[in-house]
Structures are given as structure tokens and as C-alpha cells.
Amino acid sequence: MRRLLIGSVTVLAVLLAGCSTRSDDDTGTGAAQTPATGASTTSADFGTLKDVCGPGTAKPSSVQGVTGSSVKVGVMSDVGFTKKSEFADAAKVFTDWCNDAGGIGGRRIEPVVRDTRLMDVRQRVLEACTSDFALVGGGAALDALGVQDRLKCLLPNFPAQSSQTGAVGSDLQVIASQPVAGYFQYTGYYGWLIGKKYPGSAQHVGIVSGDSPVTKLMSTQFEEGVAGLGGKVAYTDLYPAAGVSDWTPYAQAIKTRKVRGLIFLGDFASLAKLEQALTSIGYAPDWTDANNNAYGPAFLQLAGPALAKQHNYAELAATAPLESAADNPATQQVVDLFRKYAPDKQITYPVLRAFSAWLLFAVSARDCAELTRRCVYDNALKQTAWTAGGLQAPFDLSSKEPTRCYSVVVATAEGWKAADFDPDQGAYRCDAPVYKYKGNYGQPATLASVGKSLSDLT
């Protein structure tokens, strides 16, 4: 999920939580209660992926986290801080389904939620280093805090999301879609907004973000990215990440500066209040990038009547929107699996990202004659057109460049809907230019930085 590090811990929590409206703190592992062996009546297919999971005759293993009947994986999450359990929910639903289908060659997947509580990333990584086979389907807002330790213990990571410089694109990490280190991820999206949909806004873009060193760096990256597309950020502002009691001064500044395209790097609750203030003074930019953390019912409820005046968009990183489930078998399958295994939980954008990560791990492990970290990692990088069975546009996991595909949704009073961005490949448009940052924003961590090499991975 994009833009996790917005402001202080308050904003970080909201962004990590994404669009979920739940307040539960369920951290159950979701592990099956019986071994995943023998015949199964559960379909092992997911979308276009065949036999993702299945029975087998697994043998005892000396590999950490692997036994003759199970494989233990960690799921990083800030759930104890955010109270949003979507990574735990996705882990439960996926592994319950996979284990019912036979597991990974007969081995039951046992997910263990590693609750980072925002600041305890390093402690949770060190725990995972002592017992887990890999990290799968999770994410932590401050993920760079644990990346050096993860590399030292040669722990592969298949995250649903990665956020910090140092962690994004680090060694032994395989992300099933975005982001890609060193590149502006939203060229197709912003190119459409300022070049096609609202060309008059190109020279009048504004950025409002939470006040923190991390967000200031992000604001600089977005300013460079917009300029690289021929636009101009003519106005920037910061707001206290702990919250704003009155958004009217910010709304008035946006109106005075004649901002026509607004990028909001913050939590959607604050954006809803800003948009209510903008509506009160009778001003609306041509577009607002609410970012995909707002993608869900919570933002719509908070924004309320302002949705009739403000024009909110979000880019879903080439993921098929939930609204397309009726026309997308893979998305519909996620809906059906949640209905079966977690009927009281909400499917969010991070859930879809997590499912892609779980599927990648499962098929990579399935194809190992002997289940080792090196085998799973190498198999994942062989995926040159990964779609997660149809959940997302094809992505070359061996590439160091971002996908050229993107999807855009728009917020309406009736709910989120696909925007009129002229998709040319199903739910996606795949003509995004590639923009590599010219500024120095830091580098991803490497095995060499901790005195290791890929040859050490077994």
C-alpha cells in the first residue's frame, strides 16, 4: 500500500490500517487444527492459478520453520497500534483455504502474526529470525527498522507492502507488485490526471502532508515526479500530524493559491475534514488524490456531503478494484473465501495486496522438490508476468522497473467506482511512462551491507 509513512505515529497508524473501518485487534494465527494431508474436497485453484495448494508426502526437515507436517511463517503487522487486523485476516483466510486443500505439499501453513506495535519492528524481526521460515503477506510502517536484522539472519520477505527507504527493494524481498526502489510509482495515474483528464491543472498542483521528516522526503519525491511529467507543484503545506482542530485556514490557502490538483499525503479522516472546509468556503480543486488508503467505505462516510463537490481519485497499483468482482473471477474468489472463512471481516485494498503475496509464496514453495528458503526465493523471481491468478495486472518480479499498468477509482456518493481513464487491458491501462528519480532519496539495504551474500542463502 502506498504512502505508509505520513507524519507522526498517528498518521502512520491510519495509513497502515488502510481503508478498514474495524476496531478489532484480532491477531489469531488462523492455523488449521488438523494436518493438511490426505485427500481434500476443497478446490486448490485460485483464479488462473492451478493447484496452488495440495496434499503430498512431506518428509521431516532440518530447515528452520519446516517440519514434516507444517511450515511456519511470520506476518508483520502494526495491529497492536492500529487495531486493524487486515493482514491477520488475509493470513487466516488464505491459510485456512490452502490447508483445507492440502497445504504446501502436505505441510500445513502456520502463520504467526508478528505485532510490531509500530515501534517494535526490530524486536519482531529478531523473533522471526529464530523460528520462521519466511515473512509473508504483512507489512510494518517502519519496516526499515528491521531490515538489517532480517538480512543478517537470511530471512526472505514476501510482503503485502513495503514503505521505507532501505526496506523497499532490499535484498531477499520479493514484492508481488509495487513499489520499486528508485522510481516514481504513479506516472500513469498523474499523467492521466494532469495530461488528459484535467490538463488545466498541470501547473497548479498542490501538496498537503503531515509534518514529519519522512513526509517531507515524500513530498519532495512527489514534487519531482509531477515535474517529470510536465506538471508543476505550485503550493505545498504541512499540517500537524497529531491533528488539526480547524481546517479552514488550509482550505482558504488552497483557494487563494488557486490549487487545481491536490495531492494529500495524510490520513483520510483528516482529508475528509479538509474537504468539508473546502466545501464550506465554496472551493473545489479539479481533482484530489485521496490515495488508496481512502479506498473503502470509511472515507465516504466521513466526507459525507462534501463528496458531491470534491473530486476524489485513488490509484490501486494495478490491482483490480473490488467493484469489479462480478467480472473478475479472482477478485470474486477472495470475496467468497472471506465469506466462508472470515464472514465478519472486511476486504480492503491491503487484503488484496496480501493475497497476492500469499499466492506468490505458495506457488513458489509448491514447486520446490525440497522446501528451502533459496528454492522459494529463486522460484518467486522466475515469475515474469505475475497476476496473482487475476488479482492484478502482469508484473515482472525479476525486473527492477515498475509496472506500466495502473487502475484508477473515483469516490462518489454511491461508493467507489472505476474512473473513466480509458483502460486498454481489462481493468487497467498499461501505457505509464517510466520515471527514475534524479534526486538521492536513499538506497535499499543489501546482503553485502551486513557481510552476507546470496550464496549464504540455503
Phi, psi of 177 (to 5 degrees): -150, -95
Question: Is 431 among the domain residues?
Answer: no
Asked if residue 298 and residue 194 are part of one domain, the reply reads yes
- pLDDT attached to residue 41: 67
- pLDDT attached to residue 40: 56
Asked if residue 142 and residue 28 are part of one domain, the reply reads yes
Asked if residue 157 and residue 285 are part of one domain, the reply reads no
Query: Could you tell me if 35 and 100 are in contact, meaning their C-beta atoms sit under 8 angstroms apart?
Result: no
- pLDDT attached to residue 194: 98
Asked if residue 272 and residue 253 are part of one domain, the reply reads yes
Q: Which domain holds residue 299?
A: 187-320+400-418
Per-residue pLDDT of the chain (458 residues; tens, 9 = 90+): 344 444 333 344 334 333 333 323 333 333 333 334 444 567 999 999 999 999 999 999 999 999 999 999 999 999 999 899 999 999 999 999 999 999 999 999 999 999 999 999 999 999 999 999 999 999 998 999 999 999 999 999 999 999 898 999 999 999 998 889 999 999 999 999 999 999 999 999 999 998 877 778 889 999 999 999 999 999 999 999 788 999 999 999 999 999 999 999 988 999 999 999 999 999 999 999 999 989 999 999 999 999 999 999 999 989 999 998 999 999 999 999 999 999 999 999 999 999 999 999 999 999 999 999 999 999 999 999 999 999 999 999 999 899 999 999 999 999 999 999 999 999 999 999 999 999 999 999 999 999 999 999 99
List pLDDT tens digits, range 48-91.
Answer: 999 999 999 999 999 999 999 999 999 999 999 989 999 999 99
Number of domains in the chain: 2
Cell digits for 1?
Answer: 500500500
Cell digits for 147?
Answer: 531490515
Asked if residue 108 and residue 223 are part of one domain, the reply reads no
**Whole-angstrom distance, CA of residue 439 vs CA of residue 62:** 45
- pLDDT attached to residue 76: 98
Cα separations in angstroms, 337 against 43, 96, 232, 331, 334: 11, 9, 44, 10, 5
**Domain containing residue 315: CATH number:** 3.40.50.2300
Query: Could you tell me if 414 and 308 are in contact, meaning their C-beta atoms sit under 8 angstroms apart?
Result: no
Asked if residue 337 and residue 219 are part of one domain, the reply reads no
